[in-house]
Amino acid sequence: MTRVGFHASHEQISPRRLLADVQQAERAGFEMAMCSDHFAPWSKRHGHAGYAWAWLGAALATTDLAIGCVSAPGQRYHPAVHAQRIATLGQMFPGRFWAALGSGEASNEHITGERWPDKEQRTGRLEECVDVIGRLLAGEEVTHRGLVTVDRARLWDIPDPRPLLVGPAVSVESAARVAGWADGLVTLNQPVEVLRDLLAAYRDAGGRGRAALQVHLSWAATEDEAEAIAHDQWRTNVFPEPVSWDTELPEAFDLMAQHVTPATVREHVRVSADLGQHRAWLAEYAALGFDDLYLHFVGQDQGPFIDAFATEVLPALRD
């Protein structure tokens, strides 16, 4: 049966508010949660970028939810330090924390002042980091010299069970590639035919574990309001790669988004005032074979969305 979780968007909501939101989501019946890990928001209108790893400790301690985080080791985060973070949460909250390891975006990673590598080098760096992190979580002492350097690192608190290391992918090619190391897959809502091919590529390449889909959506009492929320908050998030990978500042995303129309946003966000329509969309994703759906309401006031979906959407999906 498909599980339904809550997505906590750190770039849109303050960590204090977001902690209350995830607690409300649990009370309302959401079964798990995931969060983003940003140093900067996509837009000045978002206005937030709390430190996800401090928030994760508080969220795990004050709920019973399993919670995951999408993050990028290799530039902003040294893989040994990242492994220590993952291990500590895994040891404190056994079986309840997972980490999705991606190659990153310049908007978060440029802060180190290091050169932003091309995509193939970023992917190679990620795969080295995945190997280092996995070996450290297994209790090994690790020395590594390549695109990242590690000198005689060892973790002294080994989590049992080991937290899942999940592969994030937005293309068929990347889904097949992460299948070689990932304990599961997480992706974003796209056209159904793309998602079908992406999921098949992951499974055909030997990909194991649960497949998760993060669904961007906008709901409100009226269609106009739902569209206005989506356009205000998510018009900076419609640009394809490599633009989304390589743009560094929120101001640049805002400038590029000046001429993005509500119709274009609707290609990336499921927008409707009709909760039945949202149920149908989510049921279609579940029918594709996704085990977990994480709902990301792209507005900043999460309370009405949580309550409405808990009453009108989640029970129908379970049935």
Using the structure block, give the residue that is written with the tokens 């992406």: 198
Determine contact, residues 199/280, Cβ cutoff 8 Å.
no
| 105 has catalytic annotation | yes
| Catalytic-labelled residue, pool 38, 82, 231, 296 | 38
| 114 has catalytic annotation | no
Angle between helices 52-62 and 79-92 (to 10 degrees): 10
Q: Closest Cα to residue 296, out of 278, 280, 274, 283? A: 278
Instruction: Write out the two tokens for 111.
Output: 């802060």
Whole-angstrom Cα distance, residue 229 to residue 220? 8
Beta bridge partner(s), residue 168: 186
Write phi, then psi, for 295 (nearest 5 degrees).
-90, 125
Concatenating the DSSP letter of every residue in 175-227 gives HHHHTTT-SSEEEE---HHHHHHHHHHHHHTT--S-EEEEEEEE--SSHHHHH
Whole-angstrom Cα distance, residue 31 to residue 15? 20
| Catalytic-labelled residue, pool 11, 26, 105, 127 | 105
Q: Which residues are catalytic?
A: 38, 105
